[in-house]
Amino acid sequence: MVAETWDGFLNDINGFHITKEHAFEALNTAASGPVPEGNVGGGTGMIAHGFKGGIGTSSRTVTIDGTTYTLGILVQANYGSRDRFSVLGVPVGKEITDVRPSRGGPPEGSGSIIVVAATDAPLLPIQLKRIAKRVALGIGRAGGAGENSSGDIFIAFSTSTGEPGAPASVTKVPMLANDVINPLFHAAVDATEEAIINAMVAAKTMTGIDGNTVYALPHSRLRDILRASNRLQPAKR
């Protein structure tokens, strides 16, 4: 499955610079391990809430009936208006009204976001669809509203469904009962919100085609705003 979000403000999108060799190189060098964040891969030309966006990840562990499961989120953040941007409930976008994209930038609220949710919890497809729907709540916390131009794409999958293609004529597929999966819903919401923030914090100021520039979220100003709202924990000594 291949998904995309539009990066034409920074990227020479009509230049057709990507070749099949690039595609095969990406497939052949794909590996497990920590995921780079910010201006990497498909996140290179992303813009989120008027700041530089990109790739972000986050995860949560939950314990259900004595068994611990992990739910991970990966986002490609390229959406949202500045005035709706929020971090931990603090309206950061209303506090930082400058450092906007040069040369006008794309219209406020335009763009899209891709979110992939992965878990090792045993869930059926209909349950994974419910997980994917909760992703939107995490985006909403950060200030996304699914504006008109958004082509938002959410997908969720589980690595714990066994081998339904096994040669046996009858197979068993494990599943959690619906009554106990609320912790996974909460994890999807929280991790999505955090993955978006991580993408923006990791992203760097970038100048692209025609000198168009998008600025990174200023870390020091973000800390000051959160500190003033008592959202930062004291530094560990």
pLDDT tens profile 27-81? 999 999 999 999 999 999 999 999 999 999 999 999 999 999 999 999 999 999 9
Quote helix, strand, coil % in the chain, to nearest 5.
35, 20, 45
Estimate to the nearest angstrom the gap between the alpha carbon of 191 and the chain centroid: 9
Report which residue type is found at 237. Answer: R
Q: Is 58 a catalytic residue?
A: no
Please tell me which residue in 58, 86, 152, 190 is annotated as part of the active site. 152
- Alpha helix locations (H) across the chain? 20-29, 92-95, 125-142, 182-202, 219-228
Q: 37-162+172-228, what's its fold?
A: L-amino peptidase D-ALA esterase/amidase (3.60.70)
Residue 163 has pLDDT above 70, yes or no: no
pLDDT of residue 109: 80
Residue 105 has pLDDT above 90, yes or no: no
Percent of the chain with pLDDT over 70: 95
Q: At what angle do helices 125-142 and 182-202 cross, to 10 degrees?
A: 50
How far is residue 94 from each of residues 15, 83, 84, 90, 215, measured CA to CA in Å? 36, 5, 7, 9, 16
Residue 162 has pLDDT above 80, yes or no: no
Please tell me which residue in 81, 112, 158, 190 is annotated as part of the active site. 112
Domain ranges of the chain: 37-162+172-228
Please tell me which residue in 110, 150, 158, 190 is annotated as part of the active site. 150
Between CA 77 and CA 135 the distance in angstroms is: 13
Residue with the bigger pLDDT between 136 and 4: it is 136
The closest alpha carbon to 50, from 158, 132, 143, 183, belongs to 143
Structural tokens at position 39 = 């201006």
Q: Is 224 a catalytic residue?
A: no
Tell me the pTM.
0.93
Q: Is 158 a catalytic residue?
A: no
Burial (0-12, 13-18, 19+ Cβ within 10 Å), 2? exposed
